[in-house]
Structure 1
Amino acid sequence: MTPAPRPVGTRARVAVVLVGLLVAALPAAPVTAAPGAASPGAAQPAAGHLPPPAHVVGDQTVPAYSYADAIRESVWVETRADTDGDGVRDRVAVDLVRPREAATAGVRVPVIMDASPYYLCCGRGNEGELKTYDAAGVIAKAPLFYDNYFVPRGYAFAAVDLAGTARSTGCEDVGGPAEVGSARAVVDWLNGRARAFTADGRPVNAAWSTGQVGMIGKSWDGSVANGVAATGVPGLATIVPISAISSWYDYMRYQGSLVATDYPGYLHSDVSGRPEAACAEVLARLRADSADETADYNGFWAQRDYRPSAGRVRASVFVAHGLNDLNVTTNQFARWWQALAEQGVPRKLWLHQAGHQDPFDVRRAEWVAALHRWFDYWLQGLRNGVMDEPRVDLETAPGTWTTQRDWPAPGTRDIRVALGAGDGVTGTLGGRGARPGREQAYVDGSLFEDEVVAEPNTATAGRLVFLSGTLSAPLRISGSPSVRLRVRVDRPTTQLTARLVDYGTAERLLLSGAGGVRTLDTESCWGASTSVDDACYRDTEEVTAVSDHAVLARGWLDAAHHRSLRFSTPLRPDLWYTVTVPLNAYDAVVPAGHVLGLVLGQSDPEFTDTDDRDATVRVDLGRSELILPIAGHGVLPAVDVAPSVVTAPADPSAARTARDTRQVP
């Protein structure tokens, strides 16, 4: 196993800074060897006391170079794969922007890289920016602010079209080896280990690069960064995955339940930049190997699961995620974060209250400053203390941020919460709970979320509700809850769903629509501009509204996959089974005076696609429980009868039909 990166504070850290200054002063030469395990700056012996390059002042980089005069070039990097079967290795398009003055002075620079399938098909960022090119086919405008802000500060920016997308050849395999390999090939080229060519076929090297690369990106882009880091490629010093996937199975399957049919095929077709015939075979394999008919975790999904390879990660990792992200759900960051922690990978975490949003559109100034310091440390080798600060930035309420040592919150413990029968309509959470053998049954109602959680004291077919007593003190939930159920089912399988609900009036983010964020008419600028590529973006703000309840965490399970996700075990109606429904990770404080609720349902047409309906499920309350990660000394009050909770009823006039749940990550 590759050793974890050396933590900050060792004597080698001082050498790293001196090496960065030495390398900056050397004349450009081809890169022939990759750095070793990731540590800040270049990995060569320190020598002498040389003046820093123009873009370094003290412990930070400054905008010393002209963005308007930057070198802009487009190259095609050769990968190791031939995914379209044309007998020629795939080539991925890399559009580069780098400081001309640094190149003239022989100062090598590190690279910030965003590898994406979206540059020409769909756009990047809140304003959906696309790449644009000049008459010669060279990059004129790259989406987002990374080049505008960082190129004047002594970085190069690389906007990479993944294999099979935009101007690259090959075929997109949706999170698979070809996709990850196409981005890895660019890191290899920046370290002298791969070939690249201009549009007219001339070989080109990256002699201007220090070999230190930082990958960044939101959603699919950040997922690629996770995948490349999991290969252990030398030279990848850091990654910043934003709202990113760490397991494509968990993105398209919720514990054996389909999120949507033909999801890999849908995504492939959505981003492909190739003629349909060129990738027909790859598309057919995606559809066959993903195995919609079983929803099993198989070899196809194992190739797209980056978590087991956390031990190979050499890069540091700066994760950002929305706690209410219903596209790339929170288990994607939480399980990756845990795997990285077990390997001792240097890491940092930002968690905000919004949905599938970039922190640039949640807390803009602070996010840009955080990225600046992170890249300065890991790519420029500057001792700015970023790794001595609290590891986690957490938004605890709209606009309210705090820091903490780690996540879940230090001191968090799992408590087991018993389920009680209550008044026979609404059960209870906490207290002694029911005795074993005390059963409640419910029939699948295919309820939408607003129906399943509203009016918890009312009998509603298709659900079971359990309420805590009214909280006498705030209750901090931090981590990944789960529900352990003892069930008997009269069908070979059914979907089981669980929701953790905060019942109580509060001002919360309005998560419908744009995921809690509104775009304003004003703009702010983050970096330098040209006539065709400005650094100005429309401002945003979080949108709040007073509501009487909020769903905190959700979980789904195909009951026939209760033993393993690799195979199904049909249920016998005469047998009882113990199943666990994992809920998405969350972090929240439920205020005093509120009530915590657990709501159980079955098929969920709003979030999943299943034909397993009409089952009756019997639950042995005395052998079932909620496992709740609680920080501090919070407790659920004992309760024998559920308190009365008032919520607005679900709108009976709302049109509710099962929708296509497929989204683009």
Structure 2
Amino acid sequence: MTNFLKLKSIIFSFSISIITLFSGFAQEKTTPIFQDGEAQIVEAFNTPDKWIRHDLFVETEFDTDGDGKLDRVHVSVTRPFQTDTEGLKLPIIYESSPYYAGVAPDVDGVFWDVNHELGETAQERAHPEVKRLGERPIISNSQIKTWVPRGYIVVHSSSPGTGLSQGSPTVGGDNESLAPKAVIDWLCGRAKGYTEPYGNKTVEAFWSTGKVGMTGTSYNGTIPLAAATTGVEGLEVIIPVAPNTSYYHYYRSNGLVRSPGGYLGEDIDVLYDYIHSGGEEPLIPNSDFKVNDANIPKGYKSKRAYSNAKIRDTEMKNGMDRITGDYNDFWAGRDYLNDMGPMKAALLMSHGFNDWNVMPEHSYRIYKRAKEMGLPTQIYYHQFGHGGPPPVSMMNKWFTHYLHNVENGIEEEPNKAWIVREGDKMSNPTAYKDYPNPEAKDIVLHLTSGAPKAGGLTNTKALKQGKETLIDNYSFSGEALARAEITNHRLLYITPKLEKDIHISGVPKITIKLASNKPAANLSVWLVSLPWDESRRAKTTDNIITRGWADPQNHKSITESAPLKPGKFYEMTFNLQPDDQVIKAGQQIGLMIFSSDKEYTLHPKPGAELTIDLDGTTLTLPVVGGVENFVNALGK
């Protein structure tokens, strides 16, 4: 009997040990893993079939659809199942967009007609309507495969007046900043989320650590900046890619009505129609929920009709001013540079130097101000066009540091600029202390006569070069004008052939003294690398170094224009687009001045004459190594 009791005791002790052992395993929680300062893919998180996906409606602090109730924005969540089974809390990667639910069809007449005289009103354009796409609970799948397996929760939202989000799109208005703020407030426990757009059943983000990072490209990159300008607590870091940071700078240049590259005739009201997928009834696809008459503003058939009348046909029509192109209160309210005071989020900016849609000045102006404010800031530039995020490794380190509190050296990094050099891969940027390159110094280049062929561009001033005249004709593209040996439709001034490479880094600037034979004229300036090589189009950079546009009527200020007195000379100074480019030996740098730019400006009837005073016109070029390197590159 004694031996039997001993055996039972041994078995019991062994059983307790086994239970304790497995209990220990059961209590061990899945957590993010970090290596070399980056969040690693964790197999327990990399289980798409087990991810929890749900949606909700977050209440904002505004009412922009006229129903007398605070607008709610549609939000979707994708998170590892361990946030339910293990009580795990994780930080959030958040992307918001007006595009998720579809866009307007491409129909004839949707863009403004550009074939008319400057200062004239174009005929009314067509207004296509968006047929909303998408079903609950999934708004988008972007970002999910990259970040959920690395220990993040991914959140999406449709911006106001798009998809299932209530309200009106305003294309840069305050509600497009306050909407993502509300979502972040909800993620941090400060705002209310509901299961339905008009229901009272609440949803809480119990799985959130209260730390949020935002990213996205183009409009989706604008929204992180918009959210950051509110100073909302919890938004720790933003990584905007090719963001539109000022709708004036997107649709105007120095007082000139100018289209974004590839979208001739687009303006802010065109973009409004393009994204306005909200305001339809029933509000929820494939459900019995409908909006009753009490929810629709009195006198309107739908909330979409109300928004069209209030925002597009009143606020935008009265504010956007396609007649003068002046910067006014309407545009100032859609310029995020004016709103950066409360911003606290760290900023990693990304853009392409050959982005002629959302041009590189959009990122540079915000990066520059963020540095001045003392915010943690870096910039990543590449030589390609629109889009192009930083390498995942770089984004990972930023999100890891600011959202997981991992010390990985990001804030101590001595280099603040990462630039993909010509011919290099996007994943292999070159590090520089800053942008512009601190070793770049402005040099002033002067013009020597030579029309209708080409004059010279030199760092020594040659007096009494006189005046030269060009005749406007929009039917010739800028490329054709740059390639032409002889033409009176442009003026071209070129350096001698380079014997060594020249590195340009920064913002070129032109001071131009000109007269027009008409009260209004377009002014376009290209900086080009010659001779023109068609094969370079397939590479990371082409013959266009940078460009700029201006309205001579705004020679005093972009906020006020006045008709030109024919024959009178005016002086104006304006920036070209930022650039960082190595011009190779064997090339020549050319300054081309012309009037209407076929792909970007209005198309007035050909024949206007612009006369340039060469002695009063200069090009300021930021050259790494300054005038010494410039002279050496010319073999002098």
TM-score (norm 1): 0.76
Using the alignment, how far apart are the partners of 1:52 and 1:309 within structure 2?
A: 42
Question: Is 2:272–2:312's contact at 8 Å kept on the other side of the alignment?
Answer: yes
Whichever residue aligns with residue 407 of structure 1, its letter is Y
The yes-or-no answer on 1:272 pairing with 2:276 is yes
Using the alignment, how far apart are the partners of 2:575 and 2:451 within structure 1?
A: 27
Aligned with 1:500 (options 513, 523, 527): 527
Using the alignment, how far apart are the partners of 1:181 and 1:406 within structure 2?
A: 32
Using the alignment, how far apart are the partners of 2:185 and 2:394 within structure 1?
A: 27
State the shift of 1:433 in Å: 3.5
State the shift of 1:638 in Å: 10
State the shift of 1:587 in Å: 0.8
Tell me which residue corresponds to 1:354.
384
Whichever residue aligns with residue 539 of structure 2, its letter is T
Aligned with 2:370 (options 340, 361, 376): 340
Question: Is 1:473–1:591's contact at 8 Å kept on the other side of the alignment?
Answer: yes
Q: Which ranges in structure 2 are unaligned for 5 or more consecutive residues?
A: 1-27, 105-131, 260-264, 281-303
The yes-or-no answer on 1:156 pairing with 2:149 is no
Instruction: Flag the structure with larger Rg.
Output: 2
Using the alignment, how far apart are the partners of 1:404 and 1:506 within structure 2?
A: 29
Aligned with 2:582 (options 585, 589, 612): 589
Aligned with 1:72 (options 24, 48, 53): 53
Tell me which residue corresponds to 1:90.
71
Task: Check 1:228–1:610 CA distance in 2 against 1; reply closer, same or farther (3 A cut).
Answer: farther
Tell me which residue corresponds to 1:37.
none
Using the alignment, how far apart are the partners of 1:339 and 1:620 within structure 2?
A: 35
Tell me which residue corresponds to 1:142.
140
Tell me which residue corresponds to 2:240.
241
1:223-372 → structure 2 map (5 Å cutoff): 223-260=222-259, 263-273=267-277, 274-275=279-280, 276-280=304-308, 281-284=310-313, 285-359=315-389, 367-372=391-396
State the shift of 1:576 in Å: 2.0
Using the alignment, how far apart are the partners of 1:386 and 1:553 within structure 2?
A: 31
Aligned with 1:384 (options 399, 405, 408): 408
Question: Is 2:471–2:606's contact at 8 Å kept on the other side of the alignment?
Answer: no
Using the alignment, how far apart are the partners of 2:532 and 2:490 within structure 1?
A: 23
Whichever residue aligns with residue 272 of structure 1, its letter is H
Tell me which residue corresponds to 2:183.
186
Using the alignment, how far apart are the partners of 1:97 and 1:172 within structure 2?
A: 25
Question: Is 1:432–1:638's contact at 8 Å kept on the other side of the alignment?
Answer: no
TM-score (norm 2): 0.80
Tell me which residue corresponds to 1:115.
96
State the shift of 1:431 in Å: 4.1
SS at match of 2:249: helix
Question: Is 1:67–1:151's contact at 8 Å kept on the other side of the alignment?
Answer: no
Tell me which residue corresponds to 1:38.
none
SS at match of 2:503: strand
State the shift of 1:425 in Å: 3.2
Using the alignment, how far apart are the partners of 1:611 and 1:618 within structure 2?
A: 18
SS at match of 2:205: coil
Tell me which residue corresponds to 2:16.
none
Tell me which residue corresponds to 2:418.
393
Question: Is 1:498–1:598's contact at 8 Å kept on the other side of the alignment?
Answer: yes
Using the alignment, how far apart are the partners of 2:468 and 2:408 within structure 1?
A: 59
SS at match of 1:396: coil
1:432-511 → structure 2 map (5 Å cutoff): 432-436=460-464, 438-446=466-474, 447-455=476-484, 458-504=485-531, 510=537
Question: Is 2:532–2:543's contact at 8 Å kept on the other side of the alignment?
Answer: no
Using the alignment, how far apart are the partners of 1:424 and 1:294 within structure 2?
A: 31
State the shift of 1:151 in Å: 1.5
Using the alignment, how far apart are the partners of 2:606 and 2:233 within structure 1?
A: 50
Using the alignment, how far apart are the partners of 2:430 and 2:326 within structure 1?
A: 40
Tell me which residue corresponds to 1:603.
596
Question: Is 1:497–1:581's contact at 8 Å kept on the other side of the alignment?
Answer: no
Using the alignment, how far apart are the partners of 2:536 and 2:409 within structure 1?
A: 33
Task: Check 1:68–1:632 CA distance in 2 against 1; reply closer, same or farther (3 A cut).
Answer: farther
Tell me which residue corresponds to 1:174.
171
SS at match of 2:171: coil
Task: Check 1:132–1:56 CA distance in 2 against 1; reply closer, same or farther (3 A cut).
Answer: farther
1:121-165 Cα distance to aligned partner (Å, 9 max, x none): 159xxxxxx9854xxx322x7332x21221122211111100000
Name the one with the larger strand percent. Answer: 1
State the shift of 1:437 in Å: 6.5
Question: Is 1:265–1:286's contact at 8 Å kept on the other side of the alignment?
Answer: yes
Tell me which residue corresponds to 1:11.
none
Question: Is 1:262–1:287's contact at 8 Å kept on the other side of the alignment?
Answer: no
Question: Is 2:504–2:621's contact at 8 Å kept on the other side of the alignment?
Answer: yes
Task: Check 1:443–1:507 CA distance in 2 against 1; reply closer, same or farther (3 A cut).
Answer: closer
Using the alignment, how far apart are the partners of 2:319 and 2:459 within structure 1?
A: 48
Whichever residue aligns with residue 618 of structure 2, its letter is E
Tell me which residue corresponds to 1:198.
195
Q: CA RMSD in A?
A: 2.5
Q: Which moved more, 1:570-579 or 1:470-479?
A: 570-579
State the shift of 1:432 in Å: 2.8
SS at match of 2:154: strand
Using the alignment, how far apart are the partners of 1:272 and 1:420 within structure 2?
A: 52
Q: Which ranges in structure 1 are unaligned for 5 or more consecutive residues?
A: 1-50, 124-129, 361-366, 511-542, 641-665
Using the alignment, how far apart are the partners of 2:34 and 2:528 within structure 1?
A: 50
Question: Is 1:110–1:156's contact at 8 Å kept on the other side of the alignment?
Answer: yes
Using the alignment, how far apart are the partners of 2:536 and 2:232 within structure 1?
A: 40
Task: Check 1:636–1:57 CA distance in 2 against 1; reply closer, same or farther (3 A cut).
Answer: closer
1:83-126 Cα distance to aligned partner (Å, 9 max, x none): 11111111110111112213433332111111101112159xxx
Using the alignment, how far apart are the partners of 1:103 and 1:346 within structure 2?
A: 34
Using the alignment, how far apart are the partners of 1:609 and 1:551 within structure 2?
A: 21
State the shift of 1:612 in Å: 7.8
Using the alignment, how far apart are the partners of 2:158 and 2:620 within structure 1?
A: 43
Tell me which residue corresponds to 2:39.
61
State the shift of 1:67 in Å: 3.4
SS at match of 2:203: coil
State the shift of 1:262 in Å: 6.2
SS at match of 1:232: coil
Question: Is 1:116–1:220's contact at 8 Å kept on the other side of the alignment?
Answer: yes
Using the alignment, how far apart are the partners of 2:534 and 2:322 within structure 1?
A: 41
Task: Check 1:613–1:494 CA distance in 2 against 1; reply closer, same or farther (3 A cut).
Answer: farther
State the shift of 1:290 in Å: 1.5
